[in-house]
Amino acid sequence: MMNYTDDTVFSINEGVNLLSNAVSPVVCTGAGMSADSGVRTFRGEDGFWKEYRAEDLATPQALHADPELVWEWYKERLLHYDTIEPHAGFYALQRLQENRGSLPVITQNVDGLHQKAGLSDVIELHGSLATASCLSKCGASAKELTEKLVKEIPPYCSCGAVLRPDVVLFNEPLPQNEIERAFTLAEDCDLMLVIGTSMLVHPAAQIPVVALKGGAVVIEINPEKTMLSDYPGVTFIEGRAAEVLPALIEKTLSQ
Ligand code: NAD
């Protein structure tokens, strides 16, 4: 085990006991899960992009008013995602999924890193930056969002309308099937592993709370405490996803 404080070692051991006994575990991840792969979080120390706030920039209104500016932000993220790799924590989750046969992963992330690490059954609450579709909804199917497609921005559909990235913009509703499945999983699971979310973006932040109310235990991994950390039924492990997840999962699987 790395150089952890006594408190962290104690909570990892507690997490190992909980995870070993879990029958229907579910994972719930936020931007902090990708931080150790080099993806910036929105509310971490890295802060925001240029002089804009993501909440002002990534909106349907901004996309209509200034598609080039909005696409500049998504182009930068897309090109960055192409260069990054999943860290050891993603592969630890993949081994746990393989070992259990089933391990649904609910994520707020749009970067595709879970899938890149070989995880399946990933429920993308905020969409994905893997594809783009027609803003005027001409019926053209989603196009794969490649570097070539964003060479010139904004990219256009063959019908002449601007394309939009298939991510949920601020002020847009979450995809119905995904949000329903996430809440059903939260109600039915007996353990939820919550990694790298500030618990500030709703309705995603309600998912771990629903799991707790349904009688599940929660293991939370984050370098900083959130509003979830001191809830009864939560084991908070202070630390980074790339370090804590391999330690927690390897020890669980070796038991
Ligand atoms: P957030 O940016 O609000 O909070 C990030 C959380 O991760 C913080 O609590 C922080 O302490 C924690 N964290 C930082 N480094 C960590 C590490 N190494 N290991 C574990 N935890 C770490 O993230 P959010 O709650 O997911 O909400 C942000 C919103 O922005 C979401 O809607 C998400 O869709 C979007 N977003 C996605 C990405 C991505 O796809 N990778 C990146 C940035 C933002």
Name the more confident of 136 and 11: 11
> 128 by DSSP, 3-state: which?
strand
41 lines ligand 1 (CB under 6 A): yes
DSSP label at residue 13: H
Q: Both tokens of residue 244?
A: 């804590």
* Cut 0.75: pTM above it: yes
Residue 45: the pLDDT is 53
pLDDT exceeds cutoff 70 at 94:
yes
Active site residue 126: yes
35 lines ligand 1 (CB under 6 A): yes
Q: Give Cα separations from 67 to 64, 96, 171, 191, 222 (angstroms).
A: 6, 41, 17, 42, 35
pLDDT exceeds cutoff 90 at 153:
yes
Rounded to the nearest angstrom, the distance between the alpha carbon of 51 and the centre of ligand 1 is: 19
**Closest C-alpha residue for ligand 1 atom 23:** 31
**Nearest atom within ligand 1 for CA of residue 31:** 26
Local confidence band at 228 (pLDDT 50, 70, 90 cut-offs): very high
Strand partners, 127: 167
Name the more confident of 208 and 46: 208
Among 112, 104, 123, 63, smallest CA distance to 192 is for 104
> What is the Cα Rg of the chain in Å?
19
pLDDT exceeds cutoff 70 at 232:
yes
Highest-pLDDT range among 7-11, 75-79, 112-116: 112-116
pLDDT tens by residue, 166-190: 999 988 999 999 999 999 999 999 9
Rounded to the nearest angstrom, the distance between the alpha carbon of 62 and the centre of ligand 1 is: 22
Rounded to the nearest angstrom, the distance between the alpha carbon of 108 and the centre of ligand 1 is: 8
Q: How far apart are the C-alpha atoms of 236 and 12, rounded to whole Å?
A: 9
Local confidence band at 199 (pLDDT 50, 70, 90 cut-offs): very high
Residue % of the chain over a pLDDT of 70: 94
